[in-house]
């Protein structure tokens, strides 16, 4: 007895075969058409208003390496090679190039996004981008980003390169953290590496130095600083302290502008130095700050 024909399966298979034949015919048509199509125009798209690279530079770069493209057959233009040449520019992160049926070559460029400008101990000047690559500064455009200087031993060879020192990686991690938070982006304007190789943050509000140390436990340190800003600073004023040291995760040590007192904000049993203060107001602030910190961290 013959099995009943599965017409649904037959129709689905036929549809797939027709689609496949159509794709093959279309690709053949495109291939034949491309053989005869000439390049009519180069369209360059660089999104964003802040440009390290201008369209004219990309066009000049293409002409330098490949000559005049407009008027040539598309089959004679190696688009992959064009992409490689454009990607070699240190300011360009990605480039996509394709040609359409009208003979237009489209070039879409993504620029690198610097998050930190570094002036190292040798006075070399360079950017670190959002992916952690070192890139040269540009005569075309100056990025509005954090600046880091001081005892920074991260070298720069003048070309696109990876970070080679822990300090370079710590600066990149800290700059990334600051950029990701609108509050810290507005408050922190500079980083400085002192002779003890501690990273110091320079705020826009207040004259104190914020001693971060390194980028270890960065989230905890910055949370402690934020709590201190909210709980303690309104009581004593923004210019009371010369330094705010947050390099230890379980405490904040503040040195007053006048060198006769230190306020320690953290757990008393974990303090490596004794608490000293001048006047009842600083004793009250010290107690308030410690209690507020302990409550916030426990909850």
Closest CA relative to residue 177, chosen from 211, 213, 221: 221
Q: What is the pLDDT of residue 294?
A: 44
pLDDT tens for the chain, 299 residues long, are 445 666 666 667 767 777 766 655 555 545 545 557 899 999 999 988 778 998 888 988 888 888 888 989 998 899 999 999 999 999 999 999 999 988 999 999 999 999 999 999 999 999 999 999 999 999 889 999 999 999 999 999 999 999 999 999 999 999 999 999 999 999 999 999 999 999 999 999 888 899 999 999 999 999 999 998 888 888 888 888 889 999 998 888 888 877 655 556 554 333 333 333 333 333 333 443 444 444 443 44
Taking the alpha carbons of 86, 87, 92, 95 in that order, is the dihedral positive or negative? positive
Report pTM. Answer: 0.75
Q: What is the pLDDT of residue 3?
A: 54
């Amino acid at each position: 007895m013959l099995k009943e024909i599965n017409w649904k399966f037959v129709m689905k298979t036929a549809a797939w075969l027709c689609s496949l034949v159509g794709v093959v015919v279309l690709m053949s048509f495109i291939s034949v058409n491309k053989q005869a199509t000439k390049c009519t125009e180069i369209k360059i798209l660089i999104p964003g208003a802040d440009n390290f690279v201008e369209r004219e530079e990309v066009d000049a770069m293409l002409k330098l390496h490949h000559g005049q493209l407009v008027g040539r057959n598309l089959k004679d233009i190696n688009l992959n090679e064009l992409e490689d040449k454009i990607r070699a520019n240190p300011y360009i992160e990605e480039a996509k190039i394709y040609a359409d049926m009208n003979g237009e070559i489209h070039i879409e460029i993504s620029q690198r996004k610097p998050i930190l400008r570094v002036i190292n101990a040798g006075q070399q000047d360079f950017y670190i981008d959002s992916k952690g690559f070192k890139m040269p500064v540009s005569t075309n455009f100056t990025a509005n980003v954090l600046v880091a200087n001081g005892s920074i031993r991260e070298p720069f060879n003048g070309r696109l390169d990876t970070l080679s020192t822990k300090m370079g990686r710590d600066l990149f991690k800290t700059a990334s953290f600051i950029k990701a938070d609108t509050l810290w982006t507005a408050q922190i304007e500079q980083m400085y590496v002192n002779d003890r190789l501690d990273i110091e943050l320079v705020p826009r509000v207040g004259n104190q130095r914020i001693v971060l140390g390194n980028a270890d436990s960065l989230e905890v340190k910055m949370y402690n600083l934020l709590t201190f800003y909210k709980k303690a600073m309104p009581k004593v004023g923004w210019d009371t302290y010369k330094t705010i040291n947050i390099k230890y995760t379980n405490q904040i040590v503040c040195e007053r502008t006048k060198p006769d007192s230190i306020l320690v904000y953290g757990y008393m049993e974990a303090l490596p130095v004794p608490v000293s203060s001048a006047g009842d107001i600083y004793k009250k602030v010290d107690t308030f700050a410690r209690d507020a910190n302990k409550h916030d961290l426990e909850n």
